Amino acid sequence: MKGIMLAVALAGVLVMAVGKPGSVVTHGQQDSGMSPMGGQGNPDQDIALLRQDLRAKKQQLIGQNLSLSDQEAEKFWPVYNHYTEELRQINDEKFGLIKSYGEMWGTITDQEALIYIRRWLEVDGKVQALRLKYVPIVSQVLPGKKAATFFQLDRRISMLIDVQLSSQLPLVHGKEGAPKVDGVAPAN
Residue 24 host element (H or E): strand 24-26
Which domains, ranges and CATH numbers included, belong to the chain? 43-158 (1.20.120)
Cα gap 17→8, rounded to integer Å: 7
Tens digit of each residue's pLDDT, the chain (188 residues): 222 333 333 323 333 322 222 233 233 333 334 333 344 556 667 777 777 788 888 889 999 999 999 999 999 999 999 999 999 999 889 888 888 887 878 888 889 889 988 999 999 999 999 999 999 999 999 999 999 999 999 999 988 888 887 777 777 775 554 444 555 544 43
Cα separations in angstroms, 91 against 29, 38, 148: 26, 25, 22
Per-residue pLDDT, 103? 81
Per-residue pLDDT, 62? 92
